[in-house]
Chain A
Amino acid sequence: MSFDWPAALPLIFAGLMGLAILIYVILDGFDLGIGILFAAAEDAEQDTMIAAIGPFWDANETWLVLAVGLLLVAFPLAHGVILTALYIPVFVLLLGLILRGVAFDFRAKVPTERKHRWNRIFFLGSLIASLAQGYMLGVYVLGLDVGLGGMAFGVLVAFCLAAAYAAMGAAWVIYKTEGELQRKAVRWLRTALVLTALGMAAVSLATPFASPRIFDKWFVWPEMLYLSPLPILSALLFLWLWRQTFHLPKPDDRHSLTPFLTLAAIFTLGFAGLAWSFYPFVVPDRLTIWQAASAPESLAIILAGTVVVLPVIIFYSFYAYRVFGGKATDLTYD
């Protein structure tokens, strides 16, 4: 049997890119979220929250570089179309990422009287970056070319994604801290969950109605039946997690990672729904993954490297998370 590599490679790369985006959203989601929650935290709590993400944020953000890199290298045509259409939001995203990234380091190294300034910049940068990502998601869902209505929808998604990240951040704080801060994080999680659920519902409803093609992919028999677990399972997880927030933290800190994992599962389900909606397009209704793909020989050489390196990356990423496992304590350079 001969395997049709030229047809399979773009599909494989779409899968890899999707995986990189999903991992990015989950991982950087929690550290962006912690930045957003900075606004609600006390001074000492902020130090603990930073300690909970300090060793990880850099590697988390690298998944964004990989996702954009894969878009760039595997789908050069789509990369140009998407990023020029989203020129200003991308700029705002970068601005946010620059500000929060440097604030991380500056806040720990400047004279103490200036620390507050960098704390505020850290909050602002995290918020701006999250909003920009949400806005881009909203506009992308509607097919990039949008009028005022579409922009308003983008703003709605922006706030909901920021809330979703805040929820991830709160869940991470629940996992990494104890005592008063942990109890506070449970309350944060509860509030953020409501907005997250609202946002996911909005995106789920808007997507099929924005595009007849997507509508036809969801609301036909028997696909409707096969797809029904996605929304139903997501809703159940939401409800279950919402109820859990009234029982957290549990004695002996049992299940402290559960809220984070549940949210990650919800993100994955939502992401799978989006992926199904857009397949086979990489630029909605304009470019399919095959039309936008690089030459097969170039994709093949990247794939060869990816197959070897990606498992190694995942292995040592797990190792790094293990080294800094357990409750967060103040970070020092040692």
Chain B
Amino acid sequence: MDPLILSRMQFGANISFHILFPTITIALGWVLLFFKLRYNATNDSAWMRAYFTWVKVFALSFAMGVVSGVTMSFQFGTNWPGYMEKVGNIAGPLLAYEILTAFFLEAAFLGIMLFGFRRVSNRIHTLATVLVAGGTTVSAFWIIALNSWMQTPAGFEIRDGVAHAVDWWAIIFNPSMPYRLTHMLLASGLTVSFLISGLSALRYLKGDRSESMWKALRTGVFTAAILIPIQIFAGDQHGLNTLEHQPQKIAAMEANWNTGPNVPLVLFALPDETARENKFEIAIPDGASLVLRHSTSGVVPGLNDYPGNHPPVFPVFWGFRIMVGTGILMLLVSWSAAFFLKRRHSLPKPLALLMVPMALSGWLATLAGWYTTEIGRQPWLVTGVLKTADAVGPVAGSHVALTLTIYLILYVLLLIAYLGVLVHLALKAAKDGDSSPLPGVMNAAMSQPAAGE
């Protein structure tokens, strides 16, 4: 079996599994901080109940993110040694800074955030929450900087066949970085707000009308309703940035085979790369020209300009459509939920039922978006610098096939267990309602007196 395609599948499987969890922890850290600050300001214990329900989700997601992230750091060497050999001088420092400035910060203060409420003062506990949330965001900053550099490399020169850094500012803030970072942070915010809304809707359906449920539900729904239009705008800007720097990716996203004006916006099609045409196409005339060039006669790049040097069309085209479609659904659901919560102070049952599966809509959109942008970079690993095929290691295909199979089985089982625990936690919270014992009261004496006791 071909080690290249197997290694790509394995990397894809690992990173897809991994990204699910940082997408949750990046924004959930800030939501927890919000709960904590509301509690500090109002002394309303329902905020703290919401905090303790969701901090468990945070802890579990964080653990899943850590272990799958450790796997990622080894993958570079085990499967893609050519990557670090060619661009290690750039990627190395960015990864090193992520470890030094983010990973240790998160890991050290997570313990205090999770288990330290009665061992440190309230202020230190809030600070620990800030540092963990900040750590996850800083981590996103560095890894997005590196990923964006691979998409739109800048600030380097090739000497003796190896990339050398020339301008670190240009490397970090490369052309696509600000757009990608904004897009991803908003995606994280949406993923979390829909997760919170969805699991709170489940509690609502189970008859839970406790204050902590309402607080979590409102936080989730209103955050989603505010973020989604911002995200649509940010995504549009990101697309225009891609048009400027990676036109071949746009051509594949739009399944546009020939460069020219008056390009339609394809809503549905089965792109056929051998025939170089779209089957069963449903399209809005001049739509793509309008969206991308703001003029019906705007010229949109086509795949014919990049023979043998453009990404596979089918997955990029569909990845993009799934992401946008999910986004539109998110807009509809979050705005109607916000309307009912604001005006009626209740949720219609069908809407609540829809919100439960929508808890995972953020995951779907995030994965679809990342597939679009990552497959859209092919055949390059680092655009114009290193092809994916040239980075793969000498490991035998059979070995990769074996490890890939086990990873896939493991990931499926872990996902099932993870989702099972989320539902279990939500149902347990629904059953306990506001009578759930408040931590800090229920406990037997701890080894040290808690601050202020």
Contacts and interface: CB of A to CB of B under 8 A. Distances in A.
Interface of A: 54-56, 58-59, 61-62, 64-66, 68-74, 76-77, 79-84, 86-88, 90-91, 94-95, 97-99, 101-102, 104-106, 109-111, 294-295, 297-298, 301-302, 305-306, 309-310, 313, 316-317, 319-320, 323-334
Closest 6 CB pairs of A and B: A80-B81, A73-B92, A55-B111, A83-B77, A334-B439, A76-B88
Interface stretch (B66-74, B248-256, B374-382): B66-74
B101 interface: yes
Given A58-B111, A72-B88, A79-B84, A302 B96 contact: yes
Interface in B68-95: 68-71, 73-74, 76-78, 81-82, 84-85, 88-93, 95
A66 B99 contact: yes
A101 B73 contact: no
B414 interface: yes
Contacts of B443: 330, 332, 334
A66 B101 CA distance: 11
B165 interface: yes
A306 B101 CA distance: 9
B73 A68 contact: yes
B96 A70 contact: yes
Interface string B83-119: 0110011111101110111011101111110111111
Contacts of A65: 69-70, 73, 99, 103
Interface residues of B, number: 77
Interface centre among B417, B424, B425, B448, by most chain A C-beta atoms within 10 angstroms, is: B417
Given A302-B93, A316-B108, A323-B120, 18 more contacts: A59-B110, A72-B88, A73-B91, A79-B77, A84-B81, A87-B395, A91-B78, A98-B410, A102-B414, A295-B164, A301-B93, A305-B96, A309-B101, A309-B104, A323-B119, A328-B447, A329-B445, A331-B115
Nearest to A101: B67
B419 to A, nearest CB: 12
B275 interface: no
Interface of B: 52, 55-56, 59-60, 62-64, 66-71, 73-74, 76-78, 81-82, 84-85, 88-93, 95-97, 99-101, 103-105, 107-112, 114-120, 162, 164-165, 168, 393-395, 399, 403, 406, 410, 414, 417, 420-421, 424-425, 439-440, 442-448
Contacts of A106: 60, 417, 421
Nearest to A82: B77
A95 B406 contact: yes
26 contacts: A58-B66, A61-B66, A64-B70, A71-B77, A72-B73, A72-B84, A73-B84, A73-B95, A82-B77, A83-B78, A84-B395, A87-B403, A90-B78, A98-B414, A109-B424, A110-B417, A297-B89, A298-B165, A316-B105, A320-B111, A320-B112, A326-B447, A328-B447, A329-B444, A333-B59, A334-B115
Nearest to B80: A80
Interface of B is mostly: helix
Contacts of A320: 108-109, 111-112
A80 B60 contact: no
B92 A302 contact: yes
Nearest to A109: B421
Contacts of B394: 84
Nearest to B91: A73
